[in-house]
A and B are shown apart, each in its own frame.
Chain A
Amino acid sequence: MSFLSVSDLHINLGEFYLNGVSFDLDKGDYLTIIGPTGAGKTILLESLVGFWMPDQGNIYLENRDITTELPEKRNIGIVYQDYALLSHFTVYKNIEYGLKKKNPKGMKEKIHDIASALYIDHLLHRKPATLSGGEQQRVALARALVVEPKMLLMDEPFSALDPQTRRDTRTLLKKAIAERNTTVMHVTHDLGDAWTLANKVAVIRDGLLLQIGSLEEVFKRPQTPFVAGFVGATLMEGTVIDHDNGLSVVNVNGFTVRTLDPADIGAKVKLAVRPEDIIVGIQPSPNTSAQNNIQATLSGIMYEGKTSLLSLNAGETFFDVLVTNHSLERLGLTPGDTVYAMIKSSNVRIVNSNVN
């Protein structure tokens, strides 16, 4: 059996609820949970820690049913967006707090070890209110990690930090959990957290777990239009019409797309493409079998700092393409232009061969 097994979890707190959530995690997994606000992500974490009693379903940790166990017996740590540091304690006392209860032996060294790993050793005597957001979050991480919890749960831990601090904290966190082989669940709105830290991703909406799987599975093979939209991919529907050199040829509303994924001729399929896997040109590229060249109209340009997101439509299919501003300038594109979207057949993925 897996390290963590959640089966058919139902919980209803009025505004927030979970509706039959089931999944498994292995020891050392790093799961990021994404989903819109109010989806039930926070109560999922809080019911694993034991703050809410599920109405139905079970939670097993290391093959033991912990569904009704008190939070203080579970040894699962939690870190919040607003840090929840004990304001009447110094940084040192905050980190010491859990250790004192659980494992007072060699407390001093452990506290100094974790503090220097997270670069807060110079802050130990200070009160939390005098620290910056990034420093407070590192203290909260140190406090949770120092007791070596079986699992670490984090609820949007970086969303109150500026981008640079967020990147630095991610790096430190990644190192600290790798050294301890901690199993982590991390709720976030920032897909960057998933890319840099996680090996698994779950998407939750309206109390339902829509999809869970490896980064590759969720980001590149989203199962539903909602998940696709949430992770920024484009989903197309079509019918397999031919096989060509080991590629499946799919007819999508008038144009054809080739994919490396196998499928039977005549099968209805959903195809997913990520915006960063598409190249835009004003001429079709020399036709190779590995290459898809889709003629499309540029319907919009959205600037996002160093990159831009182009919206293309080919027939009734819309898809987004990520380009650098430099290449956008070089191509001199304006909305309404006819362009060619070039996609490697290995980047077109069949997500579900039995479309209803």
Chain B
Amino acid sequence: MDVELVEIAEFLRSYRPFSLLPEEVVDSLPAKIRLSYARRGTQVIAPEAQAEHLYMVRTGAVETNAPDGQLLARISEGEYFCIQAMFRDGRALNRVTAIEDSLFYMLPFIDFQNLCQQFPQFDYFFAPHGAERLRDANVHGRGPMGQDQDLDLMSYQVSQLLTREPISAPLGCTIHEAAQVMSANRVSCLLICDGGRLCGILTDRDLRNRVVAAGRDLNQPVDSVMTPNPVTIQAGNLAFDALLTMTQRNIRHLPVLRGKNLVGVITNTNMVQKQTTSAVFLVGDIFKRTTFEGLAEVVSHVPQVLVHMVEAGATAHNVGHVITSITDAVTQRLLELGEEKFGPPPVPYVWMACGSQARQEQTSVGDQDNCMILDDAFDEGAHGQYFADLATFVCDGLNACGYYYCPGEVMAMTPKWRQPLETWKRYFSRWIDEPEPKALMLSSIFFDLRPIRGEKALHRELEALILEKARRNHLFLAHMVGNALTHRPPLGFFRNFVLDQVGGHGNRLDLKHSGVVPIIDLARVYALEVGEQAVNTIERLSAAEEGKVLSHAGAQDLLDAFEFISQTRLIHQAEQIRRGEKPDNFLSPEALSQFQRNHLKDGFAVVKTIQSAVAAAHNVN
């Protein structure tokens, strides 16, 4: 390269993927490119035109529009267009118009191809689906990932913590025989089985407390001192959930089953070795508190949990799971305390979480959304006061902890949302059979429900009705689709971000409503369409793929977009917390790296594409 052209090479090098190429390769590029200029308002590329170059914006900005005129993206300095043409024999797909006076660098097709062949990172960056880039970003863009053991609990399944075959003894053996097996195998707990089925557990501590201290005869049968029907966990669950169970129940050994078969046991030393998130200890702490103030004190640590997890590189999914388990624990504890205060419930009930808590996607201590389903034996005159008291107590408690009263009053303390099962069935039948856009917007929060405490069968019955009705009602689904299209991703950005009326908050980007919410809404529609019970967005999208209403590629793209956008939001919130600010969803463009921008844009493009596909499938405009 002529050293005189170093400024051109430097420009290239300051953007991905040129920044990933060897220095001498980038130095050779200024002599290969062509430069062109477009005046603001003029067309740069027509659809189906022959485009023999990859374009990079040097100064200015362009807009790409689909052949039907739909605005696809705004592309500014350091960004590329005509990428798709590179993969379809140089035939341009979209119209490109300069929206500012612009200078472009044009890399000839042949040089583009050579770079793709020689450098996988270059090829990967421009691979036909930007979504692939997104996958990459989720793996590589996450900071000091994989170095922090804390998060392993979220990525490990229980089965991965098992190190050896379970040590067991038959139900008929004596205490002495059981202790010999434990000693020979150097284990601190023994699983007692009856014909291959787990029926009890005997631990070192049991031997000390129930045998030695009690002076019991060692020849007595083991079932006289074991803990019968112990709490178990399924091998496929997250290690985090195992630790949570052990902490909540204050137990040290947790037998692991696959289906009904015993496959092992995990001990809290397994877990402690793997390290733990402070969230687990918060949950343990919650169950020891007896007052609102005490609970609020525990909840005040939640922002630190978020920061800690984000720093450790947790996925957004993991963070949602952990933060929500704290809300769940607070709710459960408040219900326990309420039942202590007002007495046991006169008829069965189930406390339901709605919205983000139901989906296990909370990222902070936000407004509460909940409701109560009461058994149909409920009688207003006889039991009304009890449930009003209990619900008000719990909602007040949540509010005291920072889970503020829902402005829309979607709370169990609101009489309308504290009703017997029959009434709930009526509510849902009306919402589904006579969908009204406005009512639906209000009620869509009720299509994300998860039982927190109480008689879960009440919820199962309601859920069965919802799922059965919803999938058969096309008009309802169409309305839900319409609802899912109310939040649109911002179509693109350049310099100061282009913010449409939906995405804007000042000149900042609302990551929640323009990125996260549209995907949540889409996932809900898909789940209702295939009759899926899951309410978590990731689980719903997977179910949609299995149910064949969403292609594998579409599902992957949406999952990746969801993770990336959610994570960008979390990182932003963690930074705000670190700075002592109140976390919000609004990101200013300056805070974004070029890398983040590109991937956010890919994410929004994915959302837009799927929104259009769903709208078309349901004939919704």
- Is the pairing of A and B real? no
